[in-house]
Structure 1
Amino acid sequence: MKTCAAPDPNPVKPREALPAGACDAHCHVFGPADRFPYAPDRSYTPPDAPFERLRQLHDWLGLDRAVIVQASCHGDDNTAMLDAIARSEGRYLGVAIVNGSETDEQLADLNAAGVRAVRFNFVQHLGGAPDLDVFDKTIERLGDLGWHVVLHLDAQDIVTYTDRINRIKVPFVIDHMGRVQAANGLDQEPFRALLELMKNPLAWVKVCGGERVSVGKRPFADAAPFAARLIEAAPDRVLWGTDWPHPNISKDMPNDGELVDLMLDFCPDPALRRKLLVENPEKLYGFKPLA
C-alpha cells in the first residue's frame, strides 16, 4: 500500500489578497487516524491532515470558506469530514462518498450536517470505475436533496463516458480539469471533449489540480492555459480549490501559496476571479452570507 508524502508545511503568502468570501472548493481532511481510522481496503495511506491544520492554512491564504471532499482513503465513512464541518462555524460544507445502501433518512441527515454532493471515483489508481448501477441509482436520488455529483475522472474517461455524463439530470462537477495532461496540448481529444461537455448547462469544472495536469514541476505553469480556456468557456460554472493535502502526488509537492498565485495568473480579471472564488461556490453549494 502506497504511503503519501506530507504537504509542504510552509506555504508562501499569496501575492494578492483574495476577495471576501473566497472558497477553497476542493480540499480534504485525513484523520487523525487514532480518532478517524482509514478504510481497511484503501489504496493509499495519507499523513494525518486534520481540521486544525486545514483551518490554519485557509486563514493564512485568505480563504473564508471551503468544501471538504471525502477522499477514498476514508471510504464511505464520512465521519472525519462531518466533524470538520461541524467545527467550522459555518465556513465549511462537504462532498460525501456513499455506497448506495443509504436510506432517505441517512441522506437527509448528511444534508442537515452540511453535505451538498456525492463523489464518484473513476480513476485507475483508486480502483477504476464504480458500479455503474449504483452510480445511476444514486444520482437519481440527488435531485430531491438539491445535491450535485462530483466526478473524479482520468482524462480518457471524459471520452469514454461522455454519453452517460450527459444523461445526468443534476449538476455535475468534473474534478481537476478532467486530469488532462498538459504534455498532450490543448488540442488533445480529452480536453476537446471536456470543452464540448461544458456546453451542457449542468456541467461544472474545477480549474485546480494543476500539479496533476502539469508535467510535474512547480509552479505548474503549463497547466494554466487549460484553466484559462475552461474559465473562458464557462465563467459561471467554474470552481477552484487547493486539493490540500495533495494525496498521491509523485512529482513535485505543491506549495499552497504558489497554487493561489498560479490561480491569480490564469484568472487575472477581478470580476471573473470573484465568480470563480465567491459567486460560483455560493450558487452551487448554497453557502450562507458571511457574518
Structure 2
Amino acid sequence: MELHLSLGRHGRLASDVYRQLLAAIRDGRLRPGDQLPATRQLAKSLEVSRNTVLDAYQRLTAEGFLVGRAGAGTFVSPEAASRVRAASSDPRTIAKRRDRPAALTPAAAWRGAVVSPSLAPAAFDFRIGIPDPALFPWDEWRRAVAHQLHSRRRARASYPEAHGVPRLRAAIARSVGLSRGVRTTADQIVVTSGAQQAFDLIARVLVEPGATVAVEEPGYPPAHAALRAAGARVEPVPVDGEGIVVSALPPHTRLVYVTPSHQFPLGHVMSLRRRQELLSFCAA
C-alpha cells in the first residue's frame, strides 16, 4: 500500500508519524486488516531513520490500533474500529470537536438541498421525467456499445474534447434543428454530464453576483440553487396555462429561466403568443 504522510522538519518526527497514522485509522483511510508499509520502506520514503517509524508503530500497537504478524508485517488491528468509536464517544473528544473551527460547509444556496433522494421501489413510478425502461432500445444500445469498444480496442487512451465528441455534437445539432427548429451547429453545442452541470455552466457565464434572474413558480429547485450559488437574486414569477406570465417579470431582469416545451412541474407547453411576448421583453 502506498501511504502518503507529510512531515515537518521541526519537532518530534516520530510523533508526526504517529498522529498521521492514527488520523488515517480514525477517518477510515486505513481500515481493519489493511497492511502498513514495512518500517524500512516507510522510513526511506519519509527520509527519516527507521527508529522514528518503529517508535510510531510501537505506540499504535501498544494502544491496540496496529498488530504485528510474524513474517507477514504490520496491519491495522481488527479492533481498531471499535477503539475509534469508543474514542469518538468520549466526552473529552466531543468537547474538543465542539471547540474545533467549523469544517468546510456548502454555500448557503446548497445547504439542505437533496440532490438525489433515495426512494423505496414502487410498483408504479409517477415521477416526472423518468422514462419507461421498457421503451429503451436496449438491444440496439448494446450492439452500438460493443461496436465502439471493439473498434477502439487499439486506440490510444486519452481525454476526449471537453465540450463533447464532435460526431455527437453534430448529431445533436441536426436533431434539435429538425425537432425544435433551432438553428445551430456542432461548434455551438456543449455536451454536459447532466442538466445540473449545464445550469452551473450557464450561471457562471451569464450571471454576475447580484443580477436578477426570473424563474418560473412553481419551477425546478435544483436550477434555482445553481443560479443562487452563482450569486444571482432569484425572483419567482407565476405561470398560467400559457406559460410564464411575462407582465410579472421584474424590470432589469438579466436572465429568464423557463421550460417552454414541457413546464416543470405542471407540464404546460408555452403558447406561441406567450413566447413572442417573452422574446419582445428580452429584446427591449
Q: TM-score when scaled to structure 1?
A: 0.23
Query: Which has the larger helix fraction?
Result: 2
Q: TM-score when scaled to structure 2?
A: 0.24
Q: Tell which structure's C-alpha radius of gyration is larger.
A: 2
